[in-house]
Amino acid sequence: MRKVLIAAAILVVGWFALKDWAYTALQGKSDATPEAPDYYFEEVWLSRPTTPTSGGWEVPWGIDLFLIAPPVSTPMPKGAIAADNNVLKDEYEALIEDLGLADQDLVIYAPSYRSPSPASSNSERDHEIKFAQDDIAAAMKRYLSTDNRLRGLVILATPDTEPMLYAALQQLPKSQEFRERFGGVLMPSRKDESRWNDFIGTCSPAFEACARATTLVETTESLSWLTPNLPRKKLSYAGDPGLGDEIATRMQELSNWLDLNAEKPAEPFDTWAADEVVDVAPIRRPNGDEDISGERGD
């Protein structure tokens, strides 16, 4: 009996000592570096409107939510995960449900990116996170230059996305006109708002603080310590039942303030010029021919 107990104890100790190492080794490793995503294409956006949004020159003033999704936590091989991998989309859809955003009528821009693998070591992850930073910076540049349309902007940072948030914030214009339209950053729970306020800089006068902590937290399975785990455990996300409403309220408050206080921008020429029909009077040539090209003849 004693030998049986000793053998059982050895097995238990061995299990806890080796289970995570063995599980990580079984995931394998991808040596290929994924290509940087081109944010012109839909497949590298987790969420993006499929039709043009109302511009800031319209009433009510439209507001966009730029959502930085968490890195992948589903078991995957070591190495950066390509931005068009379906696992990123699956985890994003679960996140939206967990946050209560699926039931909200919001305009959301959520770029995918080359995610660090949950199987990677800390040093490997530090290297892989640089890909994610580059991608989020590129996505924000694309959004601001092509998709923003002078609308208001609120950023939602989810857990474990601080490096990507830094990259996104560095792309924001410093102009007063933009900062009036910027509704700041909604942070995960337990973040130091004062530190982030200093980094974010100014935002819309509609808010006392540009960084606001929400109730958003990451959670692991209650018995995960019994099962094999990667260096980064499988995560889910949760917040108070009113978290989705809290996010929507922030966006609505920004819209209301802009409509009441900000100067409406003029509609850019290129948004309507293509729809205008311009009648050009024909030019009479001496020989009786008509030239309707708008160019003078010799």
Residue 70's closest CA among 161, 153, 4? Answer: 161
Reported as type and span, the H/E element at residue 108 is strand 107-111
Which segments of 158-242 are extended strands (E)? 182-187, 211-213, 217-219, 236-238
pLDDT, position 7: 52
**Other CB atoms within 10 Å distance of the CB of residue 187:** 23
**Other CB atoms within 10 Å distance of the CB of residue 133:** 18
Structural domain contains residue 156: yes
pLDDT, position 237: 86
Structural domain contains residue 66: yes
Determine the structural domain holding residue 116 and report its residue range: 31-260
Structural domain contains residue 20: no
Rounded distance between C-alpha atoms, residue 99 and residue 282, angstroms: 61
Domain tally, the chain: 1
Rounded distance between C-alpha atoms, residue 147 and residue 279, angstroms: 31
Structural domain contains residue 190: yes
Structural domain contains residue 14: no
Structural domain contains residue 171: yes
201: left (phi over 0), alpha (psi -120 to 50) or beta: left
Spatial neighbors of 71 by CB under 8 A, at least 6 apart, are 115, 116, 118, 129, 132, 160, 161, 232
Q: Going residue by residue through the chain (298 aa), what tens digit of pLDDT does each one get?
A: 665 555 554 544 443 343 343 444 444 566 678 999 999 999 999 999 999 999 999 999 999 999 999 999 888 888 899 999 999 999 999 999 988 898 899 999 999 999 999 888 888 889 999 999 999 999 999 999 999 999 999 999 999 999 999 999 999 999 999 999 999 999 998 777 878 888 899 999 999 999 999 999 887 765 444 344 445 667 778 888 889 999 999 999 999 999 999 999 988 866 554 444 444 455 555 555 544 444 444 4
pLDDT above 90 as % of the chain: 57
**Other CB atoms within 10 Å distance of the CB of residue 76:** 21
Helix (H, G, I), strand (E, B) or coil at 29: strand
On whether the CB atoms of residues 85 and 77 are closer than 8 A, the answer is no
> Could you give the maximum distance between any two Cα atoms of the chain, in Å?
118
Spatial neighbors of 160 by CB under 8 A, at least 6 apart, are 70, 71, 218
pLDDT, position 251: 98
**Locate tokens 């923003």: which residue?**
148
Q: What is the per-residue pLDDT across 91-104, written as a single tens digit (0 to 9) for each?
A: 999 999 988 898 89
**Other CB atoms within 10 Å distance of the CB of residue 47:** 19
pLDDT, position 124: 85
pLDDT, position 287: 56
Structural domain contains residue 219: yes
pLDDT above 70 as % of the chain: 75
Rounded distance between C-alpha atoms, residue 244 and residue 103, angstroms: 8
pLDDT, position 18: 39
Structural domain contains residue 143: yes
Please report how many Cα atoms fall inside a 13 Å half-sphere around the Cα of residue 68, on the Cβ side: 30
